[in-house]
Structure 1
Amino acid sequence: MSVEPPSSDRPTGPPSGPLSGPSQPPSGPPSQPPSGGGGTPEPGGPGPRRPWWRSAPRIAAITAVVVAAVVLAVVLSRGDGDGGTGQSGEVFLQAADKTGPDPFTESTANDSSAPPATPSPPTGSTSANELRGVDGGAPGLYGGTRNTSACDVEKQVDFLRSAPDRNKAFASVARVGAADVPAYLRSLTPVQLRLDTRVTNHGYVDGAATSYQAVLQAGTAVLVDDRGEPRVRCACGNPLTQPVPQQGTLKRTGDSWPSYRSSDVVVVTPSRTIINVFVIYDAAGDEWVARHRGDDGDKDRKTHRPAKPTPSVSASTPTTPTTDETSTPETATSEPTTSEPPTTEPETPDTSTPPPPPEEDTTTTSQSAPTEAAPPSSEL
């Protein structure tokens, strides 16, 4: 019996060769093998092939292990105790009359301002593992010479204006726009530190701002903001911010001075209200001066010695061990409010020693105007 061949335009079986064109993935979920099949290959056929989607969990697990290893390596390479400053466990001591490393600008400190003062540190008990906090608006926290600016603000403006890259880096630390830097600098008040003060200092390296923990010597010329916080170190033009807490053993580097004691270092806490007038001590003239916020000293006027401020609860402040040998983590503490009234002191300061700066974290409210006490009849 003869069989007619199929028509040429109606194939009845699969083609003898591979299909042309790219293979398309199935539109639905893969079919499950018949029960009992277990993916057993047919005799003579290729071996079983594991579907790609069943390997995804294993690939994800391997990826997670690799990522975790990379993160651990980065953490270990950074070390600990750097406080985010890039200086692992280091505090750089900066003398008042030295520029220091990586300056933003040339010095704008005024040579005719008051000489460095080394008054007695604030009294009061502190543990061996904390810094003293002093309110930024406390009378006598800062010093200066009457009618003389501690810094040449316009010189600082000109320096940064002539160096756009430095100006941009400075603005990034100050958190202002690059075009707003001149106005920002002119809003600050030039004064001098009267106590060794801990800050985060920022240098300029390769077009960007760096940061490191520093202690600025009493007598350092700085620009402070309307809350009393130091914002610029005039000897180098570096922007300043609040210090960063650190743990572990701290290594002191940089300069040193005879009066330095780590237990005497303070940190300035921001005033809760805007300060309109700073009450500063003029060591050269042995007098108290009222300096308006943002003024370069032209509007200075003599004022009376303020009453001794009453201690109150200290704000939480970054702290540091007081000796190189300590390795206890830093902690912030506060002191209870005392009900002791301000002491009455004679209006005429003792000429043998400069008057002491305010006690440790003194009031958390700032002075919006100078505190004046009625002078006795002897001071006229």
Structure 2
Amino acid sequence: MSAAVVAAVILAVVLTRPEGSSESGGEVLLQPAGKSGPDPFTQSTAREGSTPPSPSELPSSSASANVTRGVDGAAPGLYGGTRKVGSCDVEKQVGALQKDPAKNKAFASVLDIEPSGVPRYLRSLTPVHLRLDTRVTNHGYRDGRATGYQAVLQTGTAVLVDDHGVPRVRCACGNPLLPPVAQKSTPRQTGDAWPGYRSSNVVVVAPATQVVNQFVVYDPDSGDWFTRDKGDTGTGDKKTKPPASRPPSRHPDTPSPDESTSTASTPPCDARSPGAPPASSCPPSSVLPPSSPATQPPSSVEEESPASEPAPPPSSPEVDGSP
């Protein structure tokens, strides 16, 4: 059921290149959950947890593996965690940035907030774990400024998400995150692929159309479900029943955002700045028609092992994508 709930809110997403944005040289860095990666802002503030699970299989479509898919930031089961335990130490993150004003200023510039507002902003975010390999724009810190690059974060990565369900901080390195940026051609993959990785299973988190006051979170270790209030570090978590999955509906395939022919008539949901009101053009909550999963491995990484389904909750039936 846990995978089915997420699959029920798969969206078709088209990425565009916002004015003035970088294309990062046509590369996407694969970042395992436990590695800090290049040029970290801070030491890791992620709390130790279980071994990251293999990414879930997503319904495939008749389109090529370069089709980008997204999931609604409010989707039940999109994020995982342990009840009463935050995936990140938020106060440690606040303290690390406050001790280094230059890093704090660079961090704030990425998220378009005032440096003095960084502590309050961080405390407004919610600590969770990714349950799908997720593409983002990551930012390292080098030579006194933030340096952006395209990345895929592994399932199990500890992140802080905003009140529309969008990842904003990667806790293993303290880096600020923005939605991904399209590139002119299919990007070359660099970094380290993990067991079960498939480029066709990478998703983009589309901002929820309304503020998410409670996230419905799945614990892959216990199989339990619980709710976590936005901005809560886990102290107020409450156990809940597994959500009912919605029946799939069809949605036309979407051209690859990383092909030179990709266009969009209006700015997509994933290109908005933090705290911006939801756009009326946000994609509808619908899914791509299911068919056989994509099996072609990425050209520049080692051949992939088959992805496994996450452990379903007890007494329950089993249950987004350019890289």
Query: How much does 1:336 deviate?
Result: 9.2
Tell me the distance in 1 between the aligned counterparts of 2:124 and 2:285.
Answer: 34
Deviations 1:45-93 (A, max 9, x none): xxxxxxxxxxxxxxxxxxxxxxxxxxxxxxxxxxxxxx94352110000
Query: How much does 1:316 deviate?
Result: 11
Aligned pairs, number: 263
Deviations 1:319-363 (A, max 9, x none): 556xxxxx664467978958x9xxxxxxx945599964xxx59xx
SS at match of 2:244: coil
Q: Which residue of 2 aligns with 1:185?
A: 122
> Does the C-alpha gap of structure 1 residues 337 and 177 become closer, same or farther in structure 2, counting only changes over 3 Å?
closer
Q: Which residue of 2 aligns with 1:209?
A: 146
Q: What amino acid is aligned across from residue 110 of structure 2 in structure 1?
A: V
Which stretches in structure 1 are left out of the alignment for 5+ residues? 1-82, 322-326, 341-347, 362-380
Q: Is the contact between residue 54 and residue 195 of structure 2 (CA under 8 Å) also seen in structure 1?
A: no
Q: What amino acid is aligned across from residue 230 of structure 1 in structure 2?
A: P
Deviations 1:146-176 (A, max 9, x none): 1111000000000000000000000001111
Query: How much does 1:115 deviate?
Result: 3.3
Equivalent of residue 22 in structure 2, options 63, 85, 96? 85
Equivalent of residue 228 in structure 1, options 165, 182, 195? 165
Q: What amino acid is aligned across from residue 134 of structure 2 in structure 1?
A: T
Q: Is the contact between residue 77 and residue 217 of structure 2 (CA under 8 Å) also seen in structure 1?
A: yes
Q: Which residue of 2 aligns with 1:261?
A: 198
CA RMSD after TM alignment? 3.2
Equivalent of residue 138 in structure 1, options 75, 98, 110? 75
Query: How much does 1:118 deviate?
Result: 2.1
> Does the C-alpha gap of structure 1 residues 191 and 239 become closer, same or farther in structure 2, counting only changes over 3 Å?
same
Paired-residue identity, %: 56
Q: Which residue of 1 aligns with 2:58?
A: 122
Query: How much does 1:239 deviate?
Result: 0.3
Tell me the distance in 2 between the aligned counterparts of 1:190 and 1:315.
Answer: 33
Tell me the distance in 1 between the aligned counterparts of 2:173 and 2:46.
Answer: 8
Q: What amino acid is aligned across from residue 149 of structure 1 in structure 2?
A: G
Q: Superposed, which structure 2 residues align to 1:8-19 within 5 Å?
A: none
Tell me the distance in 2 between the aligned counterparts of 1:100 and 1:350.
Answer: 33
Q: Which residue of 1 aligns with 2:189?
A: 252
Tell me the distance in 2 between the aligned counterparts of 1:335 and 1:226.
Answer: 19
Q: Is the contact between residue 246 and residue 319 of structure 1 (CA under 8 Å) also seen in structure 2?
A: no
Tell me the distance in 2 between the aligned counterparts of 1:150 and 1:171.
Answer: 22
Deviations 1:104-154 (A, max 9, x none): 00000000x343122422214252221111000000000001111100000
> Does the C-alpha gap of structure 1 residues 96 and 336 become closer, same or farther in structure 2, counting only changes over 3 Å?
closer
SS at match of 1:210: strand
Q: Is the contact between residue 130 and residue 158 of structure 2 (CA under 8 Å) also seen in structure 1?
A: yes
Q: Is the contact between residue 31 and residue 151 of structure 2 (CA under 8 Å) also seen in structure 1?
A: yes
Query: How much does 1:217 deviate?
Result: 0.4
SS at match of 1:157: helix
SS at match of 1:140: coil
Tell me the distance in 2 between the aligned counterparts of 1:315 and 1:270.
Answer: 20
Q: What amino acid is aligned across from residue 241 of structure 1 in structure 2?
A: L
Q: Is the contact between residue 222 and residue 232 of structure 1 (CA under 8 Å) also seen in structure 2?
A: yes
Q: Is the contact between residue 139 and residue 280 of structure 1 (CA under 8 Å) also seen in structure 2?
A: yes
Q: Which residue of 2 aligns with 1:106?
A: 43
Tell me the distance in 2 between the aligned counterparts of 1:238 and 1:315.
Answer: 35
Query: How much does 1:298 deviate?
Result: 0.7
Q: What amino acid is aligned across from residue 150 of structure 2 in structure 1?
A: Q
Q: Which residue of 2 aligns with 1:277?
A: 214
Tell me the distance in 2 between the aligned counterparts of 1:241 and 1:196.
Answer: 15
1:197 matched to 2:163? The reply is no
Equivalent of residue 167 in structure 1, options 98, 104, 107? 104
Q: Is the contact between residue 55 and residue 196 of structure 2 (CA under 8 Å) also seen in structure 1?
A: no
Specify which structure has the bigger relative contact order, considering alpha-carbon pairs within 8 angstroms and separated by 6 or more residues. 2
TM-score of the superposed pair, with normalisation by structure 2: 0.73
Query: How much does 1:231 deviate?
Result: 0.2
1:151 matched to 2:74? The reply is no
> Does the C-alpha gap of structure 1 residues 263 and 331 become closer, same or farther in structure 2, counting only changes over 3 Å?
farther
Q: Superposed, which structure 2 residues align to 1:52-67 within 5 Å?
A: none
Equivalent of residue 176 in structure 2, options 218, 225, 239? 239
Q: Is the contact between residue 189 and residue 223 of structure 1 (CA under 8 Å) also seen in structure 2?
A: yes
Tell me the distance in 1 between the aligned counterparts of 2:218 and 2:314.
Answer: 13
Tell me the distance in 2 between the aligned counterparts of 1:208 and 1:105.
Answer: 13
Q: Which residue of 2 aligns with 1:307?
A: 244
Q: What amino acid is aligned across from residue 166 of structure 1 in structure 2?
A: K
| Structure possessing the higher radius of gyration over alpha carbons | 1
TM-score of the superposed pair, with normalisation by structure 1: 0.63
Q: Is the contact between residue 46 and residue 87 of structure 2 (CA under 8 Å) also seen in structure 1?
A: yes
SS at match of 1:156: helix
